[in-house]
């Protein structure tokens, strides 16, 4: 043992312990996010819980258990659950739902007060467009033309038959609202803008008053025509809504004091399921449906439910725009630094400076983006090209273009460094061979150097994308929003609307986890979003790592 101590092996073990901790932490974190993120879509069972309050009254709770924790000792003493042992003394966070009726979504129930806890086979979970989930037991279903289904079984069958139909009508209404009416509204808006522009020209004296009145008459006529179209579209929606209102279900819900009956319009129900009697295949199907909803749908309920499609779209588009700006310029700068510039002290300083820019806090870049792109350039663009819309800013406010350019500045050092490395790794013999054949320098770069460096540039690009996808702080001040009603890319001319604000997965995490009130309900969503973001970034990084490994192997073979 003495010799063991003297040899210092003990300390080697100690250093090993520290490495072990690092590895445990990273794997623990990934595991935590992975498990929590996946568990979010699990159809939790609905418990029927009877418990007692302080005075010994019998109360009911009907809902899904979201989490449980040990009751702190002081609370335990205070409430006087002496009989309960430490192990049993847990409290449960039960989502009782029915926010529109009971007021609150979640309820803590002390384990020791529970007198009965059963799973009812026909317990029904309703995911709704608003007001969160509803829990209850289906009693009736009413459909148009006097169709009534009075037993639970009939009503459920009818529900399964009618629900897809109703939902497709709901989607139709939404489609009319969003697409058709949106287009009409856009047309009206652009006509009004046209008028505003003319007014502006009139004020500037570039337009004669009679010309203006002529144009105004014309535009007014167009607008009133469009308003008629709008009214017709509204009529269609109204009649569809009226039809939809005829479908409704009756639900037996459990308030703490006892049963209540409520009616819920079928149109407001997104999904209904009976988690207590789901078979394995049903669970898997349910799971798949939820995952699909998550990646393909718009968020509902202040981002706490539904999907994150706009955030995925915003992230991807932003990263692409960023690469479009960062990669060509980064490669250009690297080519200059490595191939054209005179190597010397000045270049060394520049190189160190470029390297170190990667270490400058991202918020500083964000600040620059806000001051320079948004206020200076954007404000200038507005004054030059959109003076008629002022004081409402067009480009003089945060938007996807400015956010992408800001991130491009942030990531351009990554591209420069990676490209320089790739250029430096190309053996000199290859270049000299090219020169020996009579190629000019540009020929050599274009035909020999750049193709060989492509994997390196790709690696840099991907690393830059991964870094860009994970940054949030600079975006927060240059154009990201919690809920973007309009996407930066859509079917109205000119299709790309780079002045629009956008949603972002990273910001979504911050927003849902920190800027909403109902954190218990949202935390699952945050985990899932985090999981998605991590998967995207890890995939990007793994691609970069493998590419780099391949690159190294390649040059080991070619090397001299």
Partner 1 sequence: MNKTTASDVERNTLTQPSRRLSDRLATILISVGGTGVILVVAAIFVFIAYETLPLWIPPSIEHSSSLKPSDTLGTLHVVGVDEYQLVAYGVTSRGALVAYDLRNSRMLAVELTESSDTLSAAYSDVQEGTVTWTTRSGRIKVSKIMVSRNPAQPESIRGVSFKEIGSFQVPPGIVIKKVVGKQLRDGGIGTAALSDGGEVYYFHSRTTENRITGKTVEERSESQLPVSTDEVISCVALDHVGSKVVAGTDRGALLVWNVQDPDEPTFVERTEVREGDTLSAVEFLLGDQTVIVGSVRGTVRSYTWVADTLSSIGRKLVFLNTFNSHSSRIESITISPRSKSFLTLSTDGEALLHYQTTAKTLLQVETPSRLQFAAFSPKGDGIIALSNDGVTAFRIDNPHPEVSMHILFGRVQYEGYAEPTYTWQSSGGTDDFEPKFSLMPLLFGTMKGAFYALLFALPLALFAAIYTALFAHPKIKNVVKPTVEIMAALPSVVIGFIAALWFAPVLEQSFVAITTTAVLIPLSVLPGIVLWKLLPAKLTHRLPAGSELLAIFPSLILIGYAGYLLGPWIEQVLFDGNYRQWLYEVLGVTYDQRNSIVVGFAMGFAVIPIIFTISEDALSSVPQHLTAGSLALGATRWQTAMRVILPTASPGIFSAAMIGFGRAVGETMIVLMATGNTPLMNWGPFVGMRTLSANIAVEIPEAPHLGTLYRVLFVSGLLLFLFTFVINTVAELIRQRLRQRYSTI
47 vs 114: CA distance, rounded Å: 12
Q: Which residues contact 454 (CB under 8 A, 6 or more apart)?
A: none
Q: Which is nearer to partner 1, 249 or 333 (CB)?
A: 333
Which range of residues in 4-12, 100-108, 125-133, 170-178 is near partner 1 by CB under 8 A? 4-12
Under the binding rule (CB under 8 A), the answer on residue 359 touching partner 1 is yes
Return the C-alpha torsion angle 273, 279, 280, 284, nearest 10: -20
Which range of residues in 117-125, 210-218, 325-333, 382-390 is near partner 1 by CB under 8 A? 325-333
Structure tokens at 410: 């942030």
55 vs 393: CA distance, rounded Å: 60
The DSSP H or E segment spanning 63 is: strand 58-70
Q: Which is nearer to partner 1, 165 or 324 (CB)?
A: 324
Residues 481-520 that bind partner 1 (CB under 8 A): 506-507, 509-510, 513-514, 519
> CB of residue 348 vs partner 1: minimum separation in angstroms?
9
| DSSP state letter for 139 | E
Under the binding rule (CB under 8 A), the answer on residue 327 touching partner 1 is no
192 vs 198: CA distance, rounded Å: 10
Under the binding rule (CB under 8 A), the answer on residue 458 touching partner 1 is no
> CB of residue 267 vs partner 1: minimum separation in angstroms?
34
Under the binding rule (CB under 8 A), the answer on residue 24 touching partner 1 is yes
Q: Which is nearer to partner 1, 467 or 500 (CB)?
A: 467
The neighbouring-strand residues paired with 60 are 50
272 vs 150: CA distance, rounded Å: 18
The DSSP H or E segment spanning 243 is: helix 209-245
Quick note: the x/- pattern for partner 1 over 513-532, rule CB under 8 A, is xx----x---x--x---x--
Under the binding rule (CB under 8 A), the answer on residue 469 touching partner 1 is yes
560 vs 554: CA distance, rounded Å: 12
Cα-based distances in Å from 18 to 14, 15, 22, 25, 26? 7, 5, 6, 11, 13
> CB of residue 557 vs partner 1: minimum separation in angstroms?
20
Residues in contact with partner 1, counted by CB under 8 A, come to a total of 108
Under the binding rule (CB under 8 A), the answer on residue 355 touching partner 1 is yes
Angle between the N-to-C axes of helices 505-514 and 450-470, in degrees from 0 to 180, rounded to the nearest 10: 10
Quick note: the x/- pattern for partner 1 over 425-454, rule CB under 8 A, is ---x--xx--x--x-xxxx-xx--------
309 vs 354: CA distance, rounded Å: 36
Under the binding rule (CB under 8 A), the answer on residue 372 touching partner 1 is yes
> CB of residue 294 vs partner 1: minimum separation in angstroms?
17
Q: For partner 1, which residue of 93, 207, 230, 367 counts as binding (CB under 8 A)?
A: 367
Under the binding rule (CB under 8 A), the answer on residue 538 touching partner 1 is yes
User: Around Cβ 255, how many Cβ atoms within 10 Å?
Assistant: 15
Q: Which is nearer to partner 1, 313 or 372 (CB)?
A: 372
The DSSP H or E segment spanning 532 is: helix 519-558
Under the binding rule (CB under 8 A), the answer on residue 319 touching partner 1 is no
419 vs 65: CA distance, rounded Å: 53
Q: For partner 1, which residue of 413, 456, 460, 524 counts as binding (CB under 8 A)?
A: 413
Residues 46-85 that bind partner 1 (CB under 8 A): 69-70, 72-74
User: Around Cβ 137, how many Cβ atoms within 10 Å?
Assistant: 20
Quick note: the x/- pattern for partner 1 over 373-412, rule CB under 8 A, is --x---------------------------------x--x
Under the binding rule (CB under 8 A), the answer on residue 340 touching partner 1 is yes
Cα-based distances in Å from 232 to 235, 243, 418? 5, 17, 59
158 vs 417: CA distance, rounded Å: 64
> CB of residue 298 vs partner 1: minimum separation in angstroms?
22
Structure tokens at 186: 């856009």
Q: For partner 1, which residue of 288, 361, 429, 451 counts as binding (CB under 8 A)?
A: 361
215 vs 209: CA distance, rounded Å: 10
> CB of residue 165 vs partner 1: minimum separation in angstroms?
40
Q: What are phi and psi of 282, to 5 degrees?
A: -65, -40
> CB of residue 310 vs partner 1: minimum separation in angstroms?
17
Under the binding rule (CB under 8 A), the answer on residue 308 touching partner 1 is no
Q: Which is nearer to partner 1, 191 or 473 (CB)?
A: 473
Q: Which is nearer to partner 1, 169 or 363 (CB)?
A: 363
201 vs 195: CA distance, rounded Å: 10
Residues 118-177 that bind partner 1 (CB under 8 A): none
Under the binding rule (CB under 8 A), the answer on residue 333 touching partner 1 is yes
Return the C-alpha torsion angle 378, 379, 381, 383, nearest 10: 170
Residues 236-275 that bind partner 1 (CB under 8 A): none
Under the binding rule (CB under 8 A), the answer on residue 477 touching partner 1 is yes
Which range of residues in 141-149, 244-252, 353-361, 381-389 is near partner 1 by CB under 8 A? 353-361
User: Around Cβ 43, how many Cβ atoms within 10 Å?
Assistant: 17
């Amino acid at each position: 043992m003495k010799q063991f101590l003297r040899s210092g092996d003990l300390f080697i073990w100690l250093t090993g312990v520290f490495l072990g901790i690092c590895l445990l932490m990273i794997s623990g974190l990934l595991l935590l996010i992975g498990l929590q993120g996946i568990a979010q879509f699990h159809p939790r069972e609905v418990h029927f819980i009877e418990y007692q309050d302080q005075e010994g009254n019998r109360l009911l709770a009907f809902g899904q258990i979201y989490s449980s924790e040990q009751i702190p000792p002081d609370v335990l003493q205070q409430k006087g659950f002496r009989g309960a042992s430490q192990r049993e003394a847990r409290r449960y966070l039960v989502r009782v739902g029915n926010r529109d009726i009971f007021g609150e979504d979640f309820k803590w129930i002390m384990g020791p007060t529970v007198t009965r806890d059963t799973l009812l086979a026909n317990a029904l979970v309703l995911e709704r467009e608003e007001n969160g989930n509803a829990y209850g037991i289906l009693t009736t279903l009413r459909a148009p033309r006097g169709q009534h289904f009075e037993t639970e079984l009939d009503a459920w069958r009818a529900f399964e038959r009618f629900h897809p139909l109703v939902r497709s009508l709901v989607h139709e209404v939404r489609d009319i609202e969003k697409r058709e009416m949106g287009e009409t509204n856009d047309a009206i808006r652009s006509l009004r803008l046209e008028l505003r522009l003319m007014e502006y020209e009139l004020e500037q004296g570039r337009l004669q008053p009679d010309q203006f009145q002529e144009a105004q008459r014309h535009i007014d006529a167009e607008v009133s025509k469009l308003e008629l179209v709008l009214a017709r579209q509204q009529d269609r929606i109204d009649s569809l809504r009226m039809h939809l209102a005829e479908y409704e279900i009756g639900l037996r819900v459990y308030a703490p004091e006892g049963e209540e009956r409520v009616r819920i319009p079928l149109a407001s129900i997104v999904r209904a399921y009976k988690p207590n009697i789901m078979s394995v295949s049903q669970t898997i199907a349910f799971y798949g449906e939820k995952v699909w909803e998550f990646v393909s749908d718009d968020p509902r309920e202040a981002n706490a439910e539904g999907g994150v499609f706009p955030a995925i779209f915003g992230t991807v588009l932003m990263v692409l725009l960023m690469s479009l700006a960062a990669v060509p310029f980064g490669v250009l700068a690297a080519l200059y630094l490595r191939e054209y510039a005179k190597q010397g002290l000045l270049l060394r300083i520049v190189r160190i400076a470029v390297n170190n820019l990667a270490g400058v806090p991202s918020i500083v870049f964000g600040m620059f983006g806000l001051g320079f792109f948004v206020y200076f350039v954007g404000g200038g663009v507005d004054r030059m090209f959109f003076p008629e819309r002022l004081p409402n800013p067009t480009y003089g406010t945060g938007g996807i273009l400015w956010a992408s350019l800001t991130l491009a500045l942030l990531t351009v050092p990554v591209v420069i460094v990676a490209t320089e490395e790739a250029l430096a790794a190309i053996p000199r013999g290859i270049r000299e061979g090219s020169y020996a054949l009579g190629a000019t320098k540009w020929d050599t770069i274009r035909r020999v150097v750049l193709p060989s460096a492509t994997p390196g540039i790709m690696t840099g690009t991907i690393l830059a994308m991964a870094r860009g996808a994970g940054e949030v702080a600079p975006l927060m001040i240059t154009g990201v929003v919690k809920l973007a009603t309009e996407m930066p890319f859509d079917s109205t001319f000119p299709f790309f609307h780079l002045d629009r604000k956008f949603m972002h997965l990273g910001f979504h995490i911050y927003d849902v986890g920190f800027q909403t009130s109902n954190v218990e309900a949202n935390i699952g969503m945050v985990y899932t979003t985090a999981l998605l973001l991590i998967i995207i970034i890890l995939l990007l990084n793994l691609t970069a790592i493998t590419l780099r490994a391949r690159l190294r192997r390649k040059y080991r073979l070619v090397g001299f």
